[in-house]
Structure 1
Amino acid sequence: MEKTTKISNFNLGTCRVDLSDNSLSFDGQEKLSLQPKFIEVLAQLARGYPEVVTRDELIETVWDGNEYVGSKALTNAIWHLRQHLTALGDDTVIDTVRKTGYRLLIAPQFDEPLVSDVEQVEVSFRQYRRRSLSALLLVALVSVAMSYLLWTSTGIQTGKEISYLTREDGSERFPAVSPNGRYLVYGGARHGSNYGLFLKEISVEGALPKRLSPRDSEEARAVWHPGGEYLYYPSRRAEDRRCFFTEMQMSSGQVRYLTPCNSHRSALDISPDGSQLAYIHNVPGDSDDEVYLIRVESNEPIPEKIQCQKGCSGVARDLAFSPDGRYLAIARRLSNITEDIFLYDLNTGEERALTQGMEDIRGLTWHHSGKQLVFGVETSGVRRGFSLDLDSGKVTDLAVPGFSYPKFIPGSQDLVYNHYARQYDIAYMDVDKSIPQTPYPLFYSGYGQRLPDYSAAAGRVVYTSNETGFNEIWTSDSQGNNRIQHTFIERRALYPRWSADGHKIAFIAPDELNEGNQIYVLQLDNGEMSVVASPYSNHTRLFWGPGDKAIYSSIDNQLVKFPLDGAKPVVLRGLSMSRGQIVDESLLVFSRPDAPGLWQLDIEAYEVALTKSEALPTAIPLIRGRGGKIDWQSAPAGVYLADGLNWVAGSQGVYFKQRASGAEYMVSFWDRQTNQTRGILRIPNNYLSSFGTLAFIPSEQRLLMTLTDYPQRDIMRLSHPLLQR
């Protein structure tokens, strides 16, 4: 039998914590409703005051010992509680005790004394049974994992050693070790602050990192000069927000600006002899991001774009020099869901593909031997590490989860990488509640779900889930129940959209050769799936046209109509779309990449005018966007669309992500009838996923969104038997 402690309602300073309705209130003000798990965590911290409550204790008590779900959910709960408790005026109310757990820094005042002698026989039995089953499950999982590691084609997957090089309270990425193996440089940031470069002596245990770059500039990734005396990195300067590839002399800290960059995260690498810097850039006239070279010893470096003898394939995303300086390994995006690695010969300009059918390449590095590439891949939201044998072309899974942006340590067979962990969840909030409500997960599954869309005709939500290891198409009812998996293509499905009649779902997925993507239509009544005829290889987010007679997608910055009666696709010149939605028969509400804000247009009138070569109707701006010389007419002043993806339109108005102050944003509603906007939920920038969308359930006044926690990135060191060559 187990003894538990009864916990009554309590006060934390001026904050009233009510366990009966999972709410907080301050000085008698209106209650704020929180997720029940958040309140449970706060109650357990109050019960343990003033002692530290370990993470294991909290996961065991609040999440029934489910380490997989509880670890991420606990971090998320602590973050939310800290945000809500800032009204108490203290720097922090919940203290993090490194490598242990958390403790309250304000004494709780309970309504009733704590009672610790109530025996819970039935609860103890359930916990005993749950722990027993968990133990059996853990043994089974370990056995399966060990069997898998021993069963791979290499037969030598055992013997990996992984250790932490950073465990900071923030996000660390893009590691690189100095030529003498003594120092680690990486990009680091805490939530709400700029990324900057940090230096840490890895040969000294417990050494603290030192910030190299100014706090008000932005830097994230760097490479060392082979001699170790210089660092090269892209930097967005504080004084004018301009971005430059920069050289820093390590002995003096003196910097020299070399050439413009597009982003402080732009990929770069330096040749083995230290003479050339290769980087990815886009200048006016470039259709895509390209690879450029400069000579770093020049006082005024002149960029030179590499030229492929037979034309380069796709958009350059990352690169690495071979150890002999003859080749560049280049990761290139072929479509929005396919990416591969190419080998570029710097002497001949010839380029050939090394991989086929990857999704997202997350960093690549050469082995010292020059015969092996190691790289990270993200597949359906999950990252893993792989090695590529250049002689045989064989790709081998290193079985290292979270593997991203690796770099070999000079003079060593080990490498460093940043471990990446992030959870995506579809959450809901009921917008008609009198008490402000935080979003609640629609599913408690521990898997990544994204991109919800709701059909009133079908009464169901469609979304993608990586529950099977691939992003497949699923549906559920509006409560998150009665879930059904509809596709089994074992490839990455994206952007599902309901037809108006609720009988079909359109989405995109890779083609059979994994060289591009196609538009698929799923018939719900019989499960049949067809491919929409298209001459294009890269389709973006979709929307159904009036009467479900066609599907639309932007191709190369032009909106294209794909009729479902077999007719040829029609290019609607003058229109481009980030995301679109038909409202009220033929009224198209859309965001666009060429102009900020949200717009509307009668799509049928536009097509008729285009066919008759008449003057084309002008799109009307509904919600402002920052930038651009645009006559916003009657669009509400002071309201700005934060991104072109997180919005959903209806006949009454638009729910959208609005720009607020600093690093915060607002989920807001624009009322079409009154032209007024009201805020619904204030959120940090990263909380509402940019790789998502909003959906609305009118009958329940329920808003759906794709939420994500702050990504956890730590720098790791890996020793692996496949890399010992």
Structure 2
Amino acid sequence: MSNVSEYELGGVRVNLEAQSVCHGEQRLELSQKKYFDVLQCLIEQYPNWVTREQLIELVWAGNHYVGDKAINNAIWHIRKSLAEIDPDVQYIVTKRGHGYRLAVEPVLREAASPEPNAVRSFPANGWGLGAGLLLLTAVLSWLLVWRGGADSSEIQLTPAERLTNYPGSEFAPAVDPSGQWLAFAWARPNQVSDLYIRALAGDGEPRQLTFSEQSEHGPEWAADGKGIYYVERGGVEQDTVQSTCRVKYLELATLARNTISDCIVDLNTHLAVHPSGSTLAVNRSEPGIFNSGIYLIDLKDPSFPARRVSCGDECKYEDRDMAFSSDGTRLAFTRRSDLLSENIYLRDLRSGEERQLTRDESDIKSLSWDNSDRRIVYTSKVAGKRRTRVVDLESGEIGDLELQGASSLSRVPGSNRFVYSAGNTGKFISYLDLGGDLKAAMPLLHANFNQRSAHYSPVHRKLVYCANESGAMELWVSNLDGSEREQLTSLGGEVVTPRWSNRGDRIVFVASDRAEDGNQLLVIDFATRAISKVEPEHHNYSHPTWSPDDRYLFASVSDGGEYFAHRFDLAAGVDETLGDMPVMKLLSVGDGQVLFTSGPEGGLWSAELDPAGLAWKNLRQILSPEVFASLFNWDVYGERVFFQRNFRRNSQRNTGGQSQVMAFDLSSGDTTALALVPRGSLDRLSDFSYVPERDWLLFTQRESYQSDIYQFELRD
């Protein structure tokens, strides 16, 4: 038995091997490994000052893209955690322009450890040989446990069994408490979804439960098995889509329906029923709070106000999907910190304590407890690829399951069997030939990997777009026909919404920030391929664009609340907020005029930018939300605005639940329908891009979605 380093800071113990910070029996939660690394660096450099440049070299391995935000957040979290012990003690002092230093002397103690050679120094590159060997051992152990091998304790995955194979898409399966009945949503071709039920075993015909013009989905069984909670989303006008959202209860014996709660129209609504049957959890929001959170509804007294367990607008995240443990004492849930990051957390419902279970996930699609409440199975989407994973709550180990395209996963009660939906998730670049007599969406770039968010440069006659060909979602450039394809970035994460400058010399885009929560706004020089970060930093960026002279960048920015338009002067390094109205996407069309979409208000808006006060002048809505419902799928060229318009099922309009591609003339005010495209085939988070030489309109198209329901079993 050898000794490892442990330090005391006043009454606080910092163990470098366990990477723990404790006070008595209480363990302080720093929430991210980088925060502990910063604290360790300050301890090992004491009594010297540590500059920001040193922290970047020692903690972030010289990644100078990290910037000030990551360092500020780390220092803030360390101070906050230590303040829980003694708020009157200043543990870290700051010297402006110089750096940081511990104000309390760290006293070295000796702590016993069963592992030899476990003392970890902090070399200049951030990692020592001993740490590398420990990491390699951990990785090999993980591979043996989750990827295969001969140990009897391994998880065995039974072959997936198909349960449905109906025309259209079946999804969101849920099995009743007896384990006999399967409820699911079924969207027949070119129709919205309804709820159905059938026996889990066998292949009997399903029984339809809902028959409205709205979309019903997300079924969750009541604890007594006599009814189903579900989400109803639909329009109230003849030509609108998804203008209302309700959480309802359906009694199976009578098919009577009661409204339980409102929900958010433009957010995927998730439900979970407490094992006691007394409480329903739903993710939504309320007036005065922008970010969605988890609300607990008392089903015994629905008139009692729902209790929010997520924080409000003071936090920079939104809580989404959730699942109760079988004993009802814990809640696993997903938390989205920005557009490109979403992870799983665990909350003790008695104490309110939370801990993070996963990292580096980008889009959690569902989660469910196993039968022992020791593991959580979840599906996620990273770099355009869906994967199914298992996290062990005791060890923290995470492993992959060999399931293709899974989502909407839930456990069969009383077993380790799981039902899920699986279908195609491919995306590709398509175009409409606006000059042709017959206008139909035609594939432009279509391959065995995802391609999305194309933007065209008339200067280079080239496309820039996002693709996961390398395994991560990176920026690529090619000719209009896909030839001379070249990868521009190697960031190893997620990139979205690239846009050429008007001169074609630069490309702006949004990328995940793996060193810190939030994403980052980056610009790549097309000639040199050099990437620079736009300063000052914010938490969350969306859909950046350029001013006509390329002097400014415009982007929608959120620091935890609503999105507002910002203008970045790249030469001066100045960041200014535009107006006081929430903005989701903005395009500058010259002479100080801008067009933008606003999430809360909807529709397309026009305004002039007052250079003196950066306020809106002559603000007006030029297209109503009933006509212009898209937030991002639109583009401007000359006097024409191209946009997507959706329809409900309506025999009078004969649209069959399709979408229309429209053109709006800014001069005349005329709106023209250009083409019909299949319902749900346009990626709603991407952009349109116009190609003037060809009179083409580019957009991201999803493969005609078809999904079925499957079943598998985990065996230890």
TM-score range, shorter chain: 0.7 to 0.9
Give, in whole Å, the separation in 2 of the partners of 1:284 and 1:421: 37
Number of the residue aligned with 1:16:
none
Write the letter of the residue equivalent to 2:697: L
1:287 alignment partner, one of 283, 287, 290: 290
Write the letter of the residue equivalent to 2:348: D
1:428–1:441: 8 Å Cα contact kept in structure 2? Answer: yes
Cα 1:521–1:270 shift into 2, 3 Å: same
1:319–1:329: 8 Å Cα contact kept in structure 2? Answer: yes
Give, in whole Å, the separation in 2 of the partners of 1:683 and 1:167: 25
Could you give the per-residue CA deviations for residues 686-715 of structure 1, whole angstroms, max 9, x where no partner exists?
Answer: 232212221111122222121223322211
1:565 alignment partner, one of 567, 571, 574: 571
Deviation at 1:328, TM superposition (A): 0.8
Give, in whole Å, the separation in 2 of the partners of 1:520 and 1:284: 34
Cα 1:570–1:242 shift into 2, 3 Å: closer
Number of the residue aligned with 2:226:
229
Write the letter of the residue equivalent to 1:626: P
Deviation at 1:644, TM superposition (A): 2.6
- 1:441-460 aligned within 5 A: 441-460=443-462
1:351 counterpart = 2:348: no
**SS state of the match for residue 700, structure 1?**
coil
Deviation at 1:242, TM superposition (A): 5.8
Could you give the per-residue CA deviations for residues 307-344 of structure 1, whole angstroms, max 9, x where no partner exists?
Answer: 56997661111001011211111111100111111111
Number of the residue aligned with 1:195:
193
- 1:7-406 aligned within 5 A: 153-155=147-149, 159-203=157-201, 205-236=202-233, 243-262=245-264, 266-298=269-301, 300-306=303-309, 314-406=317-409
2:578–2:616: 8 Å Cα contact kept in structure 1? Answer: no
Give, in whole Å, the separation in 2 of the partners of 1:157 and 1:274: 31
2:556–2:566: 8 Å Cα contact kept in structure 1? Answer: yes
CA RMSD of aligned residues (A): 2.7
Moved more, 650-659 or 364-373: 650-659
Deviation at 1:246, TM superposition (A): 2.9
2:474–2:490: 8 Å Cα contact kept in structure 1? Answer: yes
Deviation at 1:646, TM superposition (A): 1.7
1:425 counterpart = 2:428: yes
Cα 1:307–1:376 shift into 2, 3 Å: closer
1:259–1:301: 8 Å Cα contact kept in structure 2? Answer: no
1:619 counterpart = 2:623: no
2:612 alignment partner, one of 608, 612, 615: 608
Cα 1:175–1:655 shift into 2, 3 Å: same
Cα 1:461–1:237 shift into 2, 3 Å: closer
Number of the residue aligned with 2:672:
678
Cα 1:260–1:597 shift into 2, 3 Å: closer
Cα 1:509–1:616 shift into 2, 3 Å: closer
Count matched residues: 554
**SS state of the match for residue 161, structure 1?**
coil
Deviation at 1:515, TM superposition (A): 1.6
Give, in whole Å, the separation in 2 of the partners of 1:714 and 1:698: 41
Deviation at 1:547, TM superposition (A): 2.5
Deviation at 1:265, TM superposition (A): 5.5
Deviation at 1:196, TM superposition (A): 1.7
1:545–1:586: 8 Å Cα contact kept in structure 2? Answer: no
Give, in whole Å, the separation in 2 of the partners of 1:580 and 1:475: 24
1:308–1:350: 8 Å Cα contact kept in structure 2? Answer: no
Number of the residue aligned with 1:518:
520
Write the letter of the residue equivalent to 1:608: A
Cα 1:177–1:490 shift into 2, 3 Å: same
2:234–2:244: 8 Å Cα contact kept in structure 1? Answer: yes
Cα 1:181–1:534 shift into 2, 3 Å: same
Could you give the per-residue CA deviations for residues 179-223 of structure 1, whole angstroms, max 9, x where no partner exists?
Answer: 2211101111113323221101022x2201111223434320122
Cα 1:664–1:233 shift into 2, 3 Å: closer
Cα 1:250–1:437 shift into 2, 3 Å: closer
Deviation at 1:374, TM superposition (A): 0.6
Write the letter of the residue equivalent to 2:579: R
Give, in whole Å, the separation in 1 of the partners of 2:144 and 2:205: 38
Write the letter of the residue equivalent to 1:426: I
**SS state of the match for residue 359, structure 1?**
coil
Higher helix share: 1
Could you give the per-residue CA deviations for residues 598-640 of structure 1, whole angstroms, max 9, x where no partner exists?
Answer: 233344xx23243xxxx74123544x1236xxxxxxxxxxxx2
Write the letter of the residue equivalent to 1:456: P
Cα 1:309–1:597 shift into 2, 3 Å: closer
Give, in whole Å, the separation in 1 of the partners of 2:617 and 2:204: 64
Write the letter of the residue equivalent to 2:277: G
2:546–2:552: 8 Å Cα contact kept in structure 1? Answer: yes
Cα 1:334–1:665 shift into 2, 3 Å: same
Number of the residue aligned with 1:687:
681
Deviation at 1:496, TM superposition (A): 0.1
Write the letter of the residue equivalent to 2:389: F
2:183–2:197: 8 Å Cα contact kept in structure 1? Answer: yes
Number of the residue aligned with 1:646:
633
Give, in whole Å, the separation in 1 of the partners of 2:372 and 2:346: 16
Cα 1:439–1:150 shift into 2, 3 Å: farther
Higher strand share: 2
1:357–1:514: 8 Å Cα contact kept in structure 2? Answer: no
Query: Gaps (5+ residues) in structure 2?
Result: 1-141, 238-242, 648-652
**SS state of the match for residue 177, structure 2?**
coil
Give, in whole Å, the separation in 2 of the partners of 1:188 and 1:557: 34
1:713 counterpart = 2:707: yes
2:405–2:425: 8 Å Cα contact kept in structure 1? Answer: no
Moved more, 681-690 or 340-349: 681-690
Give, in whole Å, the separation in 1 of the partners of 2:526 and 2:268: 43
1:356–1:514: 8 Å Cα contact kept in structure 2? Answer: no
Q: Percent identity?
A: 28
1:654–1:670: 8 Å Cα contact kept in structure 2? Answer: yes
Cα 1:283–1:152 shift into 2, 3 Å: closer
Give, in whole Å, the separation in 2 of the partners of 1:602 and 1:616: 6
Write the letter of the residue equivalent to 2:624: G
Could you give the per-residue CA deviations for residues 219-265 of structure 1, whole angstroms, max 9, x where no partner exists?
Answer: 20122233323322233599998644333333444444333333596
1:704 alignment partner, one of 698, 702, 713: 698
Q: Normalized against structure 2, the TM-score is what?
A: 0.72
